[in-house]
């Protein structure tokens, strides 16, 4: 855990420890709380308690920010305030969170050639002189194929624990997720075999590892920066269009939906299963992908009118 330097360091560290123990800490929270700590140290160097002035100065929307970027910057601090309020440690008022704005971002649509180029780059990483380099060589082809074939979020893949991978039945138990909602992912047979082979090979290098994709002997997960950096290095070897690793998830959803067009299926069942597999808390999140597959808009409308309820499937959570 990083060291905080302001007068609030003890309580920020306590909050971080609680969030980490609850499985609710992330790289983005760590970065934001580090910046908030620096803000407090620079502007309120003598204050040992959280004050309204600290919070108001931090949470004020900046001229260069959109509502969404402001939300991302202040939400960890709002969570911190709520943590203190519940314990009677502050009387600071929770600031208003800006209204979320609809995203105008259109995900990149992968071509078959681009995907072939990308995975060829992953598969032909040269053997290096160090254990770390060879671990990367083993990991990238499996890690990115998992994103591509299962639609899991990038943070779900990098935080995946070995204990949550059932390689006998081919099921992943996703506990560390957006909104912290547990869900299960069934692997394709070819992906399952890759995971089994990787598990054997990587266990020989790192016995008793905690994370399925380990960072050396440190028993720590890879960072989001590791995912982004390695994706770019592999992607731009032969491709020129801009893309990010999260778009494997978009690709997974749209490819599944495209495969339903002329299939004799129970529409609601298919939509529900895709939603649960992708870890969506509400069905509306899954319906979003129909905007990326325009020809299915009429299909969606004809099967899910406002009066129709899609049945809920409940999973046991631990």
Q: How many CB atoms are closer than 10 A to CB 4?
A: 21
Token look-up 């180029």 returns: 117
Class in CATH terms, 112-235: mainly alpha
Q: Where are the domains of the chain?
A: 9-86, 112-235, 247-303
pTM of the predicted model over 0.85: no
Residue showing tokens 């040992």: 48
Angle ∠(154,155,156) on CA atoms, nearest 5: 90
- Residues 42-92 have pLDDT tens digits of 999 999 999 999 999 999 999 888 888 899 899 999 999 999 999 999 999
Average confidence (pLDDT) over 262-290? 58
Average pLDDT over residues 16-41: 89
User: Which one, of 166, 167, 217, 161, lies nearest residue 196 by Cα?
Assistant: 167
* First-to-final CA distance of the chain: 25
Beta bridge partners of 183: 174
Q: In the numeric block, which tokens belong to residue 293?
A: 């597959």
Please give the residue that has the higher pLDDT: either 234 or 108: 234
Q: Are strands 165-166 and 183-186 parallel, antiparallel or unpaired?
A: unpaired
Helix (H/G/I), strand (E/B), else coil: 161: strand
| CB atoms near residue 131 (< 10 Å) | 12
**Residues β-bridged to residue 173:** 184
Q: What's the pLDDT tens digit per position in 112-170?
A: 999 999 999 999 999 888 899 999 999 999 999 999 998 888 989 999 999 999 999 99
Closest to 173 measured CA to CA, from 160, 163, 164: 164
Torsion, CA 151, CA 177, CA 118, CA 163, rounded to 10: -90
As a whole number, mean pLDDT of residues 209-215 equals 93
Distance CA 272, CA 313 (A): 8
Give the residue, 253 or 115, on which the prediction is more confident. 115
Are residues 146 and 175 in contact, defined by beta-carbon separation less than 8 angstroms?
no
Lowest-pLDDT range of 29-33, 34-38, 86-90: 29-33
Confidence of residue 5 (pLDDT cuts 50, 70, 90): very high
3-state secondary structure of 174: strand
């Amino acid at each position: 855990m990083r060291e905080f330097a302001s007068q609030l360091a003890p309580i920020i560290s306590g909050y971080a420890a609680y969030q980490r123990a609850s499985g609710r800490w992330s790289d983005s929270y760590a970065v934001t709380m580090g910046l908030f700590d620096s803000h407090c140290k620079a502007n309120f160097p003598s204050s040992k308690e959280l004050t309204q002035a600290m919070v108001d100065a931090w949470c004020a929307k900046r001229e260069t920010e959109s509502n969404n970027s402001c939300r991302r910057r202040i939400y960890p601090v709002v969570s911190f305030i709520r943590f203190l309020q519940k314990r009677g440690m502050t009387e600071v008022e929770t600031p208003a969170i800006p209204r979320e704005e609809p995203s105008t971002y259109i995900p990149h649509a992968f071509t078959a050639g681009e995907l072939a180029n990308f995975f060829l780059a992953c598969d032909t990483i040269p053997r290096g002189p160090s254990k770390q380099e060879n671990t990367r060589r083993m990991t990238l082809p499996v890690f990115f194929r998992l994103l591509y074939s299962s639609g899991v979020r990038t943070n779900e893949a990098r935080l995946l624990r070995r204990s949550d991978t059932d390689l006998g039945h081919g099921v992943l138990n996703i506990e560390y997720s957006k909104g912290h909602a547990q869900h299960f992912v069934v692997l394709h047979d070819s992906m399952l075999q890759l995971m089994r082979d990787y598990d054997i090979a990587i266990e020989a290098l790192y016995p008793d590892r905690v994370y399925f994709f380990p960072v050396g002997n440190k028993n720590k997960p890879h960072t989001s920066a590791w995912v982004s950096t390695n994706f770019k290095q592999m992607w731009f070897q032969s491709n020129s269009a801009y893309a990010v690793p999260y778009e494997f998830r978009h690709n997974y959803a749209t490819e599944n939906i495209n495969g339903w067009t002329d299939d004799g299926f129970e529409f609601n069942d298919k939509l529900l299963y895709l939603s649960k597999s992708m870890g969506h808390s509400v069905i509306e999140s899954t319906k979003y992908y129909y905007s990326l597959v325009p020809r299915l808009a009429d299909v969606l409308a004809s099967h899910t009118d406002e009066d129709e309820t899609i049945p809920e499937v409940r999973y046991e959570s631990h």
